[in-house]
Structure 1
Amino acid sequence: MFKKIIILFIIAALASCSSSKPAIATTKKAASVQKPRVATTKKTTDSRPTVKKYPTTNNTTEVIQSTSKTVVTSNVITDYVLQYKDIAMGNMQKYGIPASIILAQGILESGAGKGDLAMEANNHFGIKCHKDWLGESVRHDDDSSQECFRKYTEASESYKDHALFLVGKNRYATLFTYEKDDYKAWAKGLRAAGYATDPNYPDKLISYIERYNLHQYDCQVTGKNYKPFDKSVASSTSTKTNSSSTKSSNSNSDDPNLYEVQQGDTLYSISKKFNLLVDDLKRKNNLSDNALSIGQKLKVK
C-alpha cells in the first residue's frame, strides 16, 4: 500500500512538471510577437525628415497707377495671370486680340484685380459707360469727378466686354491690321487710338508683357516657338520708364501761374489742387478734351 502511494506521488509530480513547460514557451512566444511594434514606432519617427521645404520666390512690391493707385506684389500679379490666361487666350482665338495685351491691360487697369473698380464692379479694363451701355454702373473719380463706369457680375464678363469694345469701335479698327502677336504695335496702337491718355501707356504694357513673359500665351495660340525674355533688359526698360516719370514729376515750373503735369495727374485732380472747375481749366489752356501729357504746362491762375 505504501509503495502505491509513493508511485502515485511520483506520477503527480511528473505530471505537474510537464504541464508547466508550455506556459514558459507561451510567454516567450508572446514576447517575440511584441517586438515588431517597437520597430514600427521607430519607422514612423524616421519618416519625418522626408517632408520637403521649398524656398520662396523674390516677392517684390510695385505701385500700379490706373483708375486708382494700387500697391501689389509680384506674386499677386503672377497669380492674376494664371487666373485669367485661359480667358485671354480664348479671346485671342475668337477676336484676334493678343493674349499678352489683354493680360497686360488687365494688370494695369485693374491693379492686378486689387484696384477699386475691379473689387467693386468686376471692371478689369477701366471701360466707362458710354452711350451704348445698358447694364449696371458705378461712379468713380477719373478724368472728371464721379464718372460712370461699367459694372459686371463676374470678371469674365469684363474680359468679354473688353474684346467686344475693341472690335465694335471704329477708332480701334487699325489695331486689327497688325499681326495678331505683335504686342508692341498693339500697345502703341491702343494709346494712339485714345484708349488711354497716359503717354507712357505703351511702355507700361510692354514692360508687364516682358517681365511676366505674357508673350508665351500668344505663342500658344499661334503655335510659334516662345523664347523667354532677358529679364535684365526688361528690368532696364522698366527702370528707364520710372526714371523718366520721376524726373518729370520733380521738374515743376517755378512760375506760380503754371503747373507741370505729373504722372497720375488728371484734369480733375489738378482742378481740385488749384480750386478750379475742370471747364475753367480747359478754357484757360484751350483744351478740347481731357488728354494730358507728362511735362505739359498748364495755366492755373
Structure 2
Amino acid sequence: MYKHILFLLCCLAIVGCSSKRSTLTGKKIKERELVSKERYRQELRNGELKKTELGKKKDSEILEATSRLSVTTDMIRDYIVKYRSTAQYNMREHGIPASITLAQGVLESGSGQGTLSRNANNHFGIKCHKEWDGPSVRHTDDAPDECFRKYDNPEESYRDHSLFLTSRSRYNSLFLLDKDDYKGWARGLKKAGYATDPKYADKLIGLIERYSLYEYDREVLGKDKLNKAIKEIDANDKLENPNAIIASKDDYHVVQKGDTLYSISKRYNISISAVQELNNLSGNAISVGQKLKLR
C-alpha cells in the first residue's frame, strides 16, 4: 500500500517538474521573441533615420576654408540674397566680379556660419599681415593661433576684401581679365596664392555655377553698357546741336535757336503731343528762351 502511495507521489512530482520546466521554457522563448521584435523595430527606426539623414545630405553642402561646416542650400541662398548688392557695389567700385566675391564669401565664411564671420565679421579669411593696425582675433587655420582681421560689420569685410585684392601686385593680372570671366578669376586667385587648398578654384567655380552667381556680373555689366550707350547718345546730340541746353534731370528744356517740337521730342524721347499737353500748346509754335516742361 505504502509502495503504491510512494509511487503515485513520485509520478506527481515528476509531472509537476516537467510542467514547471515547460512553463519556464515557454516563458523564456516568449521573452526572447519579444526582445527580437523590439530589436527589429529599433533597426527599422534606425534605418528610417539613416534614410532621413541621407535625404538631408542631398540638400546640404560641406564648406571648408577657415572652418569646416555643413550648411543647407537654403542657408547658402539666404547668404547670397543678403550680400549680392554689396558684392555688386564693390564690383562697380573696384572691378572684382560679384560672382567671385560672393563665392568666396560663401566658401570662406561658411555662408556666415563660420567662427570668424560670427565672431569677427571676417567673411573672407583675411589675416592681419604686417600693415594691419585694426582689431583682430586669434584663430587656428593653416597654423595654430593665427591673427585674423576683425570688422565692425560684414560690409566692412567686403570692402576690405576688394582693397586687399586691388592693393597687392600679385593680383594685378586678375584685373586684365574680362569681368565676366569668373573661371579665369577663380584660377587666378588660386595661382596668386589667395588660398592653399589645391581645389580652391574648382570650389569657387562650382558655387558660381550651382547658384548662377554669374547673373549678378551680367546685371552690373548690362547696366554699365546701357549707361555708356546713353552717354554716347548725349555726346552725339551735342555735336548735332551744340547750342542746346539739357535741363537738370530732364525736367524742362530751354528752347534754343533752331529747336522744333520734333527735335525736342526726339532728343528727350518724348512724344510731341506730350510736350504740347504739358505746356498747354495748341500748335507747334515755340520761341527762343521759352521753358518747356518735359515731365
The TM-score normalised by the length of structure 1 is 0.55
Partner of 1:90: 89
Partner of 1:246: none
Partner of 2:187, secondary structure, is helix
Match for 1:78: what amino acid? R
Instruction: Confirm whether residue 137 of structure 1 aligns to residue 136 of structure 2.
Output: yes
Which of the pair is proportionally richer in helix? Answer: 2
Partner of 2:5: none
Distance 2:197 2:58 in 1: 27
Distance 2:102 2:61 in 1: 17
Instruction: Confirm whether residue 110 of structure 1 aligns to residue 109 of structure 2.
Output: yes
Partner of 1:149: 148
Q: How does 1:1-301 map to 2 (within 5 A)?
A: 60-223=59-222
Distance 1:153 1:192 in 2: 30
Partner of 2:13: none
Partner of 2:134, secondary structure, is coil
**Residues 187 and 205 in structure 1, CA contact (< 8 A), matched pair in contact too:** yes
Distance 2:142 2:214 in 1: 31
Stretches of structure 2 that go unaligned for 5 or more consecutive residues are 1-56, 224-295
Distance 1:223 1:86 in 2: 15
C-alpha deviation, 1:140, in angstroms: 0.3
Distance 1:78 1:112 in 2: 9
Partner of 2:196, secondary structure, is coil
C-alpha deviation, 1:199, in angstroms: 1.0
C-alpha deviation, 1:218, in angstroms: 0.2
Distance 2:180 2:167 in 1: 20
Whose RCO is larger (CA < 8 A, sep 6+)? 1
C-alpha deviation, 1:67, in angstroms: 0.6
Q: Deviations over 1:207-258 (max 9, x none)?
A: 000000100000000118xxxxxxxxxxxxxxxxxxxxxxxxxxxxxxxxxx
Q: Deviations over 1:45-80 (max 9, x none)?
A: xxxxxxxxxxxxx98111111111111100000000
Distance 1:102 1:143 in 2: 22
C-alpha deviation, 1:126, in angstroms: 0.3
Match for 1:82: what amino acid? V
Q: Tell me the matched-pair count.
A: 168
Partner of 2:175, secondary structure, is helix
Partner of 2:252: none
Distance 2:209 2:105 in 1: 15
Distance 1:165 1:64 in 2: 23
**Residues 59 and 74 in structure 1, CA contact (< 8 A), matched pair in contact too:** no
**Residues 59 and 73 in structure 1, CA contact (< 8 A), matched pair in contact too:** no
Match for 1:190: what amino acid? L
Distance 2:185 2:191 in 1: 10
Match for 1:153: what amino acid? D
Distance 2:90 2:166 in 1: 11
Distance 2:193 2:58 in 1: 34
Match for 1:181: what amino acid? D
Distance 2:90 2:174 in 1: 15
Partner of 2:205, secondary structure, is helix
Q: Summarize the Cα distance change of 1:59–1:82 in structure 2 as closer, same or farther, 3 Å threshold.
A: farther
Stretches of structure 1 that go unaligned for 5 or more consecutive residues are 1-57, 225-301
Distance 2:76 2:61 in 1: 10
C-alpha deviation, 1:94, in angstroms: 0.7
Distance 2:87 2:66 in 1: 21
Partner of 1:135, secondary structure, is coil
Q: Deviations over 1:54-111 (max 9, x none)?
A: xxxx981111111111111000000000000000001111100000000000000000
Partner of 1:223, secondary structure, is helix
RMSD: 1.6
Match for 1:142: what amino acid? D
Match for 1:61: what amino acid? S
Same amino acid, percent of matched pairs: 58
Distance 2:170 2:128 in 1: 17
Partner of 1:63, secondary structure, is strand
Partner of 2:70, secondary structure, is strand
Distance 1:219 1:151 in 2: 31
Partner of 1:72, secondary structure, is strand
